[in-house]
């Protein structure tokens, strides 16, 4: 597939800006890509990858990687992104991660490891949920089992497909500081948490008004998600 054929709009409003941050990297053949927390579904589908790509899936859960489609990964690494693996140092042109960094216990160590794993000139692009999103605050007070049962019942979430979250340093200020030493970086706050309240229309309406207020008043530390980019 030519890079021009990669979709530019997606149903999920987070996906377009995320893909735009690495679209040009997919023009070069023979690149090495690391997908952090790739699990059962690689972030970059096999048909989008340029010829000669070496695509590595890293995940703490080997059983998640094992159920991915057969052509998903050229290599898998089972491990915690927070634990340094010297064999990965300086190997990658691009590192991507979709909805994983809110699950890690030590965000600083995880981000530092992505920097080590990039080649000079390489780029890291990640989407993660924010520490102060309403759903993140609820996750802190409602035990995991109860949350999972509620999400399965009201939102149709498949049991066993949600992972424990830590939301360590998942705020605008903390992310901006963590990436401050990189050659270049960007932290983009996004506000898109209404789906969690879909089963209760009046709660959803109130919540959407709250999100509009967050945007208007630039409460970047209360964003529901962050798109982060770091250039080594
Ligand atoms: C919400 S899933 C996202 C999976 C995949 N990126 C996707 O878009 O479908 C989170 C994934 O992160 C993995 N994970 C959680 N903590 C991790 C860590 N510390 N290091 C590496 N992977 C981790 C989980 O095993 C799981 O596969």
Cβ neighbours for 217, distance < 8 A, ≥ 6 positions apart: none
pLDDT for position 161? 67
pLDDT for position 111? 98
pLDDT for position 138? 86
pLDDT for position 199? 86
CA distances from 130 to 8, 80, 170, 189, 228 (A): 25, 20, 5, 9, 12
Q: Whose CA is nearest to atom 24 of ligand 1?
A: 37
Q: Which residues pair with 230 in a beta bridge?
A: 124, 185
Q: What are phi and psi of 143, to 5 degrees?
A: -55, 150
Q: Classify residue 120 as exposed, middle or buried by CB count within 10 Å of its CB (0-12, 13-18, 19+).
A: exposed
pLDDT for position 206? 95
pLDDT for position 217? 97
Q: Whose CA is nearest to atom 11 of ligand 1?
A: 37
Rounded CA gap, 69 and 46, in Å? 10
Atom of ligand 1 nearest to the CA of 82: 19
**Residue whose CB lies within 8 A of the most ligand 1 atoms, among 60, 73, 114, for a mutation test:** 60
- The verdict on the CB of residue 163 being under 6 Å from ligand 1 is yes
- The verdict on the CB of residue 64 being under 6 Å from ligand 1 is yes
- The verdict on the CB of residue 81 being under 6 Å from ligand 1 is yes
- The verdict on the CB of residue 80 being under 6 Å from ligand 1 is yes
Q: Which class in CATH covers the domain with range 3-231?
A: alpha beta
Question: What is the full per-residue pLDDT of the chain (232 aa) written as tens digits?
Answer: 778 889 988 999 999 999 999 999 999 999 999 999 999 999 999 999 999 999 999 999 999 999 999 999 999 999 999 999 999 999 999 999 999 999 999 999 999 999 999 999 999 999 999 999 998 998 888 888 888 888 888 778 776 667 889 999 999 999 999 999 999 999 999 999 898 888 889 999 999 999 999 999 999 999 999 999 999 9
Contact indicator for 37, 97 with CB cutoff of 8 Å? yes
Q: What are phi and psi of 86, to 5 degrees?
A: -55, -30
pLDDT for position 95? 98
- The verdict on the CB of residue 39 being under 6 Å from ligand 1 is yes
């Amino acid at each position: 597939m030519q890079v021009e054929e990669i979709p530019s709009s997606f149903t999920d409003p987070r996906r377009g800006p995320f893909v735009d941050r690495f679209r040009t990297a997919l023009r070069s053949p023979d690149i090495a890509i690391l997908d952090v927390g790739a699990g059962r579904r690689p972030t970059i589908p096999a048909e989008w990858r340029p010829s000669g790509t070496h695509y590595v899936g890293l995940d703490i859960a080997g059983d998640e990687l094992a159920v991915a489609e057969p052509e998903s990964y050229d290599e898998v690494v089972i491990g915690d992104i927070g634990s340094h693996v010297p064999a990965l140092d300086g190997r990658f042109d691009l590192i991507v991660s979709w909805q994983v960094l809110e699950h890690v216990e030590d965000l600083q160590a995880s981000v530092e490891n992505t920097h080590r794993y990039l080649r000079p000139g390489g780029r890291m692009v990640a989407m993660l949920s924010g520490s102060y999103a309403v759903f993140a605050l609820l996750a802190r007070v409602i035990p995991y089992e109860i949350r999972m049962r509620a999400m399965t019942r009201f939102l149709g979430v498949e049991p066993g497909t949600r992972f424990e979250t830590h939301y360590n340093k998942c705020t605008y200020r903390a992310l901006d500081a963590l990436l401050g030493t990189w050659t270049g970086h960007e932290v983009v706050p996004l506000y898109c948490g209404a789906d969690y309240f879909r089963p209760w229309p009046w709660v959803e309406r109130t919540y959407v008004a709250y999100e509009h207020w967050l945007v208007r008043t630039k409460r970047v530390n209360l964003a529901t998600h962050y798109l982060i980019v770091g250039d080594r």
